[in-house]
Structure 1
């Protein structure tokens, strides 16, 4: 080791930030760091690794199907660059082998192992070109879980990274619990040692900054270890890590997964690690679909990505994996762009852009809808019918159309009888066909 950690007689647990008997603290130093977005940024996926730990285990066929979906969603753009697999069970190895046999450029198949050479032999036997290696960074893990000194932990991590490089395999070093780690005392010397190994071997070495408990803070002027800008900036300028080798892996414990991931892009990290629909340990990981939207906002486009496919993936998760996506989940939930306010419905009827920030119908295959309930007026009913049946031009129903009156009366009678739930799409479809389209067809025949 050219760069030694700052050894500690006892663990530095940052108790003034993480007192445990209170909510964690945010400490400010008011240091302003420069934003520096890499020219090329991308997304990686851990649905099959971190994500799968949190839900019903997938079988091989389901994993291969989701891999196909990821490939079709990326659609040759290279934005969803990689996905990682466990390799411990025969099921996982079979799934990885079948996915590799597809021959897709994107997403590339990678793996994840613990920091021991027995696990590394599995990677070698599979012919996988890159593997994640667990390198816990905080003293919570080094002292209290591994029962090692910082020096011993660093030597163990570098030994396994060296073995990876000896075999021509890219090591992706997972700096676990980086938001509670001694950044200059352990993270920086570990990163610098790894970068020296990269330069000597001429093989890429990656660092995944893992916000294991979701403690990262995206605000500027925040102290380490919680500052996402300072972590990314520090890896680049003190750890000598190039942007292309920095990846952020966030959790959503404090509702910060998406903003922290975006912040890592803004301050120089090229890659953000995600899962489909944010599945993952405890409250989940950074949602892949959310970072696609963030990518589009930063870069001004989503390249050739096929975003409408997200609807199909959502249905697969709910039907085949029995995973219920909360209906109000942004961009993917069934009600994410459903308005319940009558005045909003009237605005949508006049101009969809008033209450819809982009064309969700064209981009996501999800038209904006209104919920039909006891507060719904004629405008809501007219907008629901137009949107649900995709009526355009002269076929659109306007709120002055007399055919809407019996529909409104039927809905009002439901609530006058004590109903409290929304009118379902199936019920609205029947009412529209009975009172609108039946009459409409008769009128056209005349």
Structure 2
């Protein structure tokens, strides 16, 4: 019979949770009911509902210089320093972007860490990612980093087929590595790789509880990063493990006794659910979500940092001091200094993010930009709404383009019946009537406006 005790977190009487033991199976459980490789993965529902339990304080963490670098050419030391300073400014005085993660193996990695540490910025805190080896813990300790990530793969796909171990062997190996971290005086952040294909009750829960016991004995806290390595996570209410994000977060708290502030979600975007899964992790009790700038990362990428900045504001009702204009500065830096072109349709940072091509939309923007713009993008991102001029833009589109491109305000703004607008609009119509297929460039419009001003028509239009 289970004992009934007062739960210190919910302040309600609850039955003591069942104590799950390691299930050391002889053959790997590849969960073919969900993951038959020759079929699309299945989403199963068990209709068990986890309660919303968003922590009072939620944070964003960053892995741009670790996971983000695994899918592109390495950043230079100066680029890392520049980006780190901008992330710190974006984070704001309250440190909402709490931590960032570095490699430590090359001379370039270590130089970048040292230069960033020399800046003396409080946030984001510099952490590292290392191999699970004793000499690596000493390396991190000597550098002066207080926390490091270590890989503890938890699905049978990794344990059996990659590591060639049984569950018990893997668990014993991982625990010995974590003990090495304790001996080195470093806080381990355990990366539970491939958790959305893992046997949650047969391996994850007993493994995490064993780590928690070691942590109490060593009097050193342990963080847990729940890694949705292949983007299998599902945010829907009532979905079954192992793919349920609510179920995983609930289980880590209620069956493993891991407090919110020691939980972190790390997701990938293979099924277009990276942002939704990260937000769900927050809602169900995970304090931190791990991101990269612009979602740059393995395969389809990671959770984009800029997405979670605005998700934070929507959920909390405040930016808590984050300077979102830095997001535009970062996008421009990537394009001009690094040579990385953000895809044009990317929310918040893409070239076409708040640009309309439809004349009817441009007409609405001209009357009131709130009709077709998601928020004051000029205030939050230094990007006023724009139009792209083509055969569909109409006079309203031309007027809006001129007003925004030339910064015309108040009585100086032109309307769609303005002579200069008609002049440019007629020229555009002629272009497409003669077979043009490409959009109209800004330089071309500037040239036509100069022509108009220099003409008698231009003089009349100014009167």
Which band: TM-score by shorter chain? over 0.9
Distance 1:69 1:437, change over 3 A: farther
Q: Note if contact 1:208-1:246 (Cα within 8 Å) is conserved in structure 2.
A: yes
CA distance, structure 2, for counterparts of residue 325 and residue 433 of structure 1: 32
Residue 429 of structure 1 pairs with residue 446 of structure 2: yes
Aligned counterpart for 1:176 among listed residues 158, 183, 193: 193
Aligned counterpart for 1:131 among listed residues 132, 148, 172: 148
Q: Partner residue of 1:291?
A: 308
Deviation, 1:60, is 1.2
Q: Partner residue of 1:159?
A: 176
Q: Partner residue of 2:118?
A: 101
Aligned counterpart for 2:42 among listed residues 21, 25, 35: 25
Deviation, 1:54, is 0.6
Q: Note if contact 1:3-1:190 (Cα within 8 Å) is conserved in structure 2.
A: no
CA distance, structure 2, for counterparts of residue 216 and residue 290 of structure 1: 18
Q: Note if contact 1:45-1:275 (Cα within 8 Å) is conserved in structure 2.
A: yes
Deviation, 1:203, is 2.2
TM-score, normalised with respect to structure 1: 0.96
CA distance, structure 2, for counterparts of residue 439 and residue 136 of structure 1: 75
SS in 2 for 1:47: coil
Q: Partner residue of 2:322?
A: 305
Q: Note if contact 2:63-2:292 (Cα within 8 Å) is conserved in structure 1.
A: yes
Q: Note if contact 1:3-1:192 (Cα within 8 Å) is conserved in structure 2.
A: no
Q: What 5-or-longer segments of structure 1 have no aligned partner?
A: none
Q: Partner residue of 2:263?
A: 246
Q: Partner residue of 1:35?
A: 52
Distance 1:13 1:437, change over 3 A: farther
Alignment of 1:343-358 (within 5 A): 343-358=360-375
Q: What 5-or-longer segments of structure 2 have no aligned partner?
A: 1-18
CA distance, structure 2, for counterparts of residue 379 and residue 436 of structure 1: 20
SS in 2 for 1:259: helix
Residue 271 of structure 1 pairs with residue 295 of structure 2: no
Q: Note if contact 2:418-2:461 (Cα within 8 Å) is conserved in structure 1.
A: no
Moved more, 371-380 or 397-406: 397-406
Residue 147 of structure 1 pairs with residue 147 of structure 2: no
Q: Note if contact 2:234-2:273 (Cα within 8 Å) is conserved in structure 1.
A: yes
Aligned counterpart for 2:338 among listed residues 297, 300, 321: 321
Distance 1:95 1:166, change over 3 A: same
CA distance, structure 1, for counterparts of residue 278 and residue 166 of structure 2: 31
Deviation, 1:243, is 0.3
Residue 225 of structure 1 pairs with residue 233 of structure 2: no
Distance 1:183 1:437, change over 3 A: farther
SS in 2 for 1:313: helix
Aligned counterpart for 2:31 among listed residues 14, 28, 31: 14
CA distance, structure 2, for counterparts of residue 443 and residue 312 of structure 1: 41
Distance 1:307 1:441, change over 3 A: farther
Moved more, 326-335 or 338-347: 338-347
Q: Note if contact 1:252-1:283 (Cα within 8 Å) is conserved in structure 2.
A: yes
Q: Partner residue of 1:396?
A: 413
Over the aligned positions, Cα root-mean-square deviation in angstroms equals 1.9
TM-score, normalised with respect to structure 2: 0.93
Deviation, 1:399, is 1.4
Aligned counterpart for 1:383 among listed residues 396, 400, 406: 400
Distance 1:134 1:395, change over 3 A: same
Spell out, residue by residue over 1:32-87, the C-alpha distance to the aligned partner (whole angstroms, 9 max, x if none): 11111100000000000000111121111111111111112113231111000011
SS in 1 for 2:151: strand
Aligned length: 445
Residue 185 of structure 1 pairs with residue 202 of structure 2: yes
SS in 2 for 1:413: helix
SS in 1 for 2:152: strand
CA distance, structure 2, for counterparts of residue 314 and residue 398 of structure 1: 32
Q: Note if contact 1:165-1:203 (Cα within 8 Å) is conserved in structure 2.
A: yes
Spell out, residue by residue over 1:265-298, the C-alpha distance to the aligned partner (whole angstroms, 9 max, x if none): 0000000000000000111000000000100100
Q: Partner residue of 1:340?
A: 357
Deviation, 1:166, is 2.5
Aligned counterpart for 1:116 among listed residues 133, 149, 162: 133
CA distance, structure 2, for counterparts of residue 440 and residue 187 of structure 1: 76
CA distance, structure 1, for counterparts of residue 455 and residue 303 of structure 2: 47
Distance 1:157 1:343, change over 3 A: same
SS in 1 for 2:65: helix
Distance 1:320 1:439, change over 3 A: farther
CA distance, structure 1, for counterparts of residue 456 and residue 309 of structure 2: 44
Q: Note if contact 2:419-2:461 (Cα within 8 Å) is conserved in structure 1.
A: no
